[in-house]
Structure 1
Amino acid sequence: MIVSASYRTDIPAFYGEWFRERLRAGHCMVANPYGSRPYRVALTADAVDGFVFWTRNVAPFLPALEEVTARRLPFIVQYTATGYPREWERATLPADAAIAQMRALATAYGQRAVVWRYDPILFADGMDADWHRATFRRMAQALAGAVDEAVVSILAPYRKTMRNLDRAAQHRGLAWRVPEPEESAPLLGDLAQIARESGMRLTLCAQPDRLTKDVASAACIDARRLSDVAGRDIMARVKGNRPGCLCAESRDIGRYDTCPHGCAYCYAVADHDKARRTHRAHDPAAESLSPAAR
């Protein structure tokens, strides 16, 4: 079993102590996002084939990575870094700091253990296609040799995401929009070329309607990459979460509405104030990441 930690929240940035406690205990409890009924996920070496960690700040999690490595369990870090203005990302690391962390991870654990996510691509005032080309080029050049894949998607907001985006836009007097595929296609083609120039391939996360000849579908839970990290075959069937998703089957141990980063476009948080309160009330010694999953 591959364990995802987590596309529902940033466990490495905010819940690393809890993860270490659960790793030592050999299990955790997880609330089903549909109805909150809890279930048990084993975290022992004989139950876990590997981990996929999702984060915007891995520094607090480095001791946990050492413990995972000591158990001879492979892992991949899906690291999101976009360099967006504070209007849209009010509490994330600056791009240069995020790049430094990714380079350090690659040095310590190898290039195949790190994937850069420039995701999602948000079109807003002051952030048009040319802005994204320039920002992506600057970051890709800084990451050359450290990562071999850059995952992107064009923002396709859920209803709760639209509310947060509208609230942020109104507060700052800005506007945002979702481009049509014919507008995003030239940008994706250019980003693919920029990525190639820096030794990366560009992949698109679960947006089959926006694929171009230069861009492949992403497998964010990637058993083949995990196998490369492990030095052995890790077998897992493809079981995507939505059309166009090529992710391998996994168990996610996170919980929605628990990440306090405050990104306006985040699909995993409906209420940023509630997420911050939940984080403050978190008990690292609990079986579950939040009390509702006990």
Structure 2
Amino acid sequence: MTWKKANIIIDGRKMEVPAPDIISASRSTDIPAFYADWFFHRIETGYSVWNNPFNGKKNYISYRNTRFIVFWSKNPKPLLPYLPILKERGIGCYIQFTLNDYEEDGLETGVPSLTERIETFRTLSDILGKEAVIWRFDPLILTDNISVDTLIEKIERVGTEIHNCTEKLVFSFADIDSYRKVKANMTDSGIP
């Protein structure tokens, strides 16, 4: 695939960098939850740079042609004050909102309460439209304490709260053996 290009100035040096129409933000880190301020500062600046974790090489991207952004988040609430900026710039977005019910199981620490996340989901749906907020119950996890029936009850409980706020549910199954860090964290937490 050939990306559109744009010129940016870095340290007085002109560089030609990719300038895509669509940005998939936050696949490797939760930008909305932790870096919304940074991200929107970068949009104002016109470009972002990050180090590739595999080869250490700096990668640049220009926002000159950006018309749409896909955000991925477990807590997109920090995006709320920035949504008008996207609208002003003519940039559309949708949010892949991971909204799980593992609160009592201790599987997702560090996220707001389920009640607060459901309220954020509803607010985003009101602002962006229900077609722009994709519900992700991801991953589906079975443990000694979470049976198939329990998992279905969890999905139904969340779905009952947000069914009028979205048009799509995306889910996946956790293959814990493929993720050594996740497996180690679960083992350390005593969750088989």
Q: TM-score range by the shorter chain?
A: 0.7 to 0.9
Alignment of 1:43-122 (within 5 A): 43-44=63-64, 47-84=65-102, 85-122=104-141
**2:48 is matched with which residue?**
28
Q: Is 2:52 aligned against 1:40?
A: no
SS at match of 1:53: strand
User: Which residue of the partner structure matches residue 173 of structure 2?
Assistant: 154
Is contact 1:5-1:54 (8 Å) kept? yes
Q: Distance in 2 between matches of 1:167 and 1:112?
A: 35
Tell me the amino acid that sits aligned with residue 46 of structure 2.
Answer: G
State the one-letter code of the partner of 2:22.
I
Find the residue that maps to 2:50 and give its secondary structure. Answer: strand
- State how far apart, in whole Å, the 2-side matches of 1:153 and 1:30 are: 28
- The Cα of 1:86 is off from its aligned counterpart by 5.0
Once residues 158 and 108 of structure 1 are traced to their aligned partners in structure 2, the CA distance between those partners, rounded to angstroms, is: 39
- Contact 1:12–1:57, Cα closer than 8 Å, also in 2: yes
Q: Is the 8 A contact 1:118 1:150 kept in 2?
A: yes
Residue 78 of structure 1 deviates from its aligned partner by 0.6
Verify the 8 A CA contact 1:87 1:168 in the aligned structure 2: no
- Unaligned runs of at least 5 residues, structure 1: 176-294
Structure 1 Cα separation of the partners of residues 40 and 159 of structure 2: 32
Give 1:36 deviation, angstroms.
Answer: 2.2
SS at match of 1:98: helix
- Per the normalisation by structure 1, the TM-score is 0.55
Higher relative strand content? 2
Unaligned runs of 5+ residues in structure 2 are 1-20
Instruction: For 2:34 and 2:69, locate their aligned partners in 1 and report how far apart those are by CA, in whole Å.
Output: 17
Query: What letter corresponds to residue 33 of structure 1 in structure 2?
Result: P
Residues 2 and 170 (structure 1), Cα distance of their counterparts in 2 relative to 1, 3 Å cut: same
Give the Cα separation in 1 of the matches to 2:42 and 2:122. Answer: 28
Give the letter for the 2:98 counterpart.
Answer: T
Partner secondary structure for residue 60 of structure 2: strand
Q: RMSD of aligned C-alpha atoms?
A: 1.6
Provide TM-score, normalisation by structure 2: 0.83
Secondary structure of the equivalent of 2:176? coil
Q: Distance in 2 between matches of 1:52 and 1:30?
A: 18
Identity between Structure 1 and Structure 2 (%): 26
Q: Which of 141, 148, 155 lines up with 1:129 in the alignment? A: 148
Whether the 8 Å contact between 1:53 and 1:75 is mirrored in structure 2 is yes
Q: Structure 2: which amino acid aligns with 1:157?
A: I
The residue matched to 1:133 in structure 2 has which SS? helix
- State how far apart, in whole Å, the 2-side matches of 1:127 and 1:26 are: 46
Contact 1:99 1:142 in 2 (8 A): yes
The DSSP-based 3-state class of the residue aligned with 1:9 is coil
Q: CA deviation at 1:166?
A: 3.4
Change over 3 Å in CA distance of 1:101–1:43 after alignment to 2: same
Please state whether the residue corresponding to 2:145 is helix, strand or coil.
Answer: coil
What is the distance in 2 between the residues matched to 1:171 and 1:147?
Answer: 33
* Distance of aligned partners of 1:26 and 1:163 in 2 relative to their CA distance in 1, 3 Å threshold: closer
Larger relative contact order, structure 1 or 2 (CA cutoff 8 Å, min sep 6): 1
